[in-house]
Chain A
C-alpha cells in the first residue's frame, strides 16, 4: 500500500492540487492498480528488447520549416488565451 506521503509527492510532481479525501481515495485505488500490474513481475523477460515502436520505424525526420499560420488561425489561438495583453500571452512571474 502506498503511503499518504508518497501519494502527496506524486500529486505535486503531476501538478495536481488534491484534497485530503482525494489523496486517500487515490491512495487506495492506485495501490490496487499497482498490485494488478505487479503480475508483470512473473514474466521472464531476460534478453527481451523493450518495444520502442510497434511497426518498426526508427528516427523519422522531416525538414524543420516554419509555416505561417493564417490570420484566422492566429486569431483563434490568441482569442483563447486566458490572460493576454496587446495580443501576447500573459503569464504570472516564475520568481515572485
Chain B
C-alpha cells in the first residue's frame, strides 16, 4: 500500500511509530497528485513547497517528542472557498482569480495548531453554487470512478481528491448537499455538521443561514477526528455555540436499542432503482446490527427544495454584493482590455461591468432570483413564505427525533451523471440536491457513507440524519455500519 492511500488513523500510527516521515507522506500525496491531476482536475492551486515545509516542521516535532496529536503531519486538501493566509483563494470564480487570502479561516487556524499539512486548494462550483463542479470558472473535476462523469458538487474537487488518494482527507462546505452529494458520488465519507457547530469565519459566504464547513474522509472515524478538531465556539462567527460533545461509546458493532427512522418521503417515484435497493439493503443491515427500524413521515419534505431555492438566492444576492470591483478581485479598473475599449466610464459602470464579467452564469442567475424575490412587492410572497415553510420543515425533524435517534435515507436520487448532461437546465441540476437540502433548511447534521455500487460500478451513498448537535450518534451508527461492510475499502482504478 502506498502512503497516500492511508487513512488518518493509519497514517498517524505510522508517523508515531516512525515507520515513515511526514515528509514522505506529503511527498506520496504530491506524487499522486502529479500522476493523476491531468485526468482529475481536482485542484485549483497546489501548494507543493508549502506542504513540504510544513511536513518538515511536523517531522521536527515528532523527532523532539512534541507531536501535536493525531493530525500532526497529516496531508489535507482544502476546498478553495476556505482562506489560508498568504495563498491564492479563488472560490473557483473569475472574480477572485487573482485574490490572495489576507488571513486564516478559523478552521485553518485550528488545523495549523493540530499540525496538519495543506497540499492545496480544491476545485468547486463557483462560490459553492452547483452540484457538479461544472460551474467552476477554471475546470471541471472528473469522477475517479468514471472520468466521463461528474464527482458531484459543489465540493467535487475535495471529494475526488480523497477518493483518488491524492490526499488523506479534505475539508469542504455544505449549503444544500455540497459535502454529502459528492461524498456519495465518489464512495467516501462526508459530514455536514449541525448549523453553528463549526465556525465559518474565513469561509467565502454562501447563504449564511444554511452554510457549514465539514470533513470529507476515507472512514467515519477520520471524519469524526477532523470534525472534533474544527468544532467549537468562535466569537468571529456569531452563530457558533458552546456544546459539550455527547460521546457515545461504540459498543463493539452493536446498535442494540438504537431507533432508526426511515421517512417514506425519501423514496420517491423516478429515483434510481439500484439506489433504492442499496439503501434498503443498508437499512436491513442496520437492523441486523440490532437497530430498531421504523417507518416515519417528514411530511414537508417535498417543499424543501423550493424553500431552499427562494431563501438561498436571497442570501446569495446579499453575500456576493461585496464583489464589486472596488477593493479586491477582478475589476474593470485594472482590466487592460476593457480600458482600451472604454475611454470613459462611471463608478456605476465599475460595479455593473466588473460583476457581469467576473461572475459566471449560475452566480448571476442566483443574484437575479434573489434580487427579484427580495424586491418591493415580492418579499412576502417568496421570502417570508419560504421562511414559514422552513419552520414546518424544522418541526418535521423535531417531531421525528422524539421517536427515533437517527434517520436513514438515500443521498441523491441519481448516480453520478455525465459531464455536460445537466448544464443547460438549472432546475434539473437543482433536483440532484432533493434529499440533501432539507438538512440545511432545518440545520440538522448529516453523515454520508458508502453503501454500494450500481451495476455500472457507480458509487451509492447512505445518508444518516441526526438530531441537532447529535453528530456523535451519526458517528456511532455510521461506524457500526462501516465496520460490518466492505464498501469503503473499494478503490477506483485510475
Binding site for B on A (CB under 8 A): 2, 6-7, 10-11, 13-18, 22, 26, 29-30, 32-34, 36-37, 39-41, 43, 45, 48-55, 57, 60, 62, 72-73, 76-77, 79-83, 89, 91-94, 96
Contact = CB atoms under 8 A, between A and B. Distances in A.
Interface string B313-335: 00001000000111111010110
Contact of B306 (A17, A37, A45, A51): A37
Contacts, number: 165
Contacts of B468: 55
B102 A73 contact: yes
A49 B350 CA distance: 41
Interface stretch (B121-129, B156-164, B223-231, B363-371): B363-371
Contacts of A48: 388-389, 391-392
Given A40-B303, A89-B327, 20 more contacts: A2-B372, A6-B372, A11-B368, A14-B371, A15-B348, A17-B355, A30-B365, A33-B369, A33-B426, A37-B306, A40-B386, A45-B385, A49-B391, A55-B194, A55-B239, A80-B98, A80-B328, A83-B334, A89-B326, A92-B347
21 contacts: A10-B368, A10-B375, A15-B351, A15-B355, A17-B355, A17-B356, A36-B309, A37-B310, A37-B382, A37-B386, A39-B306, A40-B382, A40-B385, A48-B388, A48-B389, A50-B387, A52-B387, A55-B241, A76-B100, A82-B331, A83-B334
Contacts of A89: 326-327
A24 to B, nearest CB: 13
A18 B241 CA distance: 42
B443 interface: yes
A36 B386 CA distance: 13
* Prevailing SS type, chain B contact patch: helix
Nearest to B310: A37
B71 to A, nearest CB: 25
A14 to B, nearest CB: 4
B353 to A, nearest CB: 5
A6 B368 CA distance: 11
Contacts of A39: 303, 306
Given A33-B426, A39-B303, A13 B371 contact: yes
Given A30-B372, A55-B468, A92-B346, A43 B352 contact: no
* Prevailing SS type, chain A contact patch: loop
Contacts of B317: 14
Interface residues of B, number: 69
B486 to A, nearest CB: 37
Interface in B267-324: 300, 303, 305-307, 309-310, 317, 324
Contacts of A91: 326, 347
Given A10-B375, A39-B306, A92-B347, A26 B386 contact: no
A56 B367 CA distance: 28
Given A37-B382, A77-B102, A93-B347, A82 B326 contact: yes
Task: In the A-B complex, list the 6 residue pairs whose CB atoms are closest, starting with the nearest.
Answer: A54-B443, A50-B387, A82-B331, A17-B352, A45-B388, A80-B328
Contacts of A96: 346-347
A79 B324 CA distance: 17
Given A15-B352, A82-B325, A82-B326, A32 B427 contact: yes
Contacts of A36: 305-306, 309, 427
A29 B356 contact: no
A13 B364 CA distance: 12
Contacts of A7: 368
B384 interface: yes
Contacts of B195: 54-55
B447 interface: no
A27 to B, nearest CB: 10
A16 to B, nearest CB: 5
Contacts of B364: 16, 18, 22, 26
A15 B173 CA distance: 27
B371 A10 contact: yes
B178 to A, nearest CB: 17
Contacts of B442: 54
Contacts of B387: 50-52
Contacts of A37: 306, 309-310, 382, 386
Contacts of B300: 43
A51 B326 contact: no
Interface in B208-222: 209
Nearest to A75: B102
Contacts of A77: 102, 328
Contact of A83 (B99, B333, B371): B333
B240 to A, nearest CB: 9
B391 A50 contact: yes
B247 interface: no
Given A55-B443, A57-B196, A62-B235, A16 B355 contact: yes
B390 A62 contact: no
A51 to B, nearest CB: 4
B347 A94 contact: yes
Nearest to B98: A80
B192 interface: no
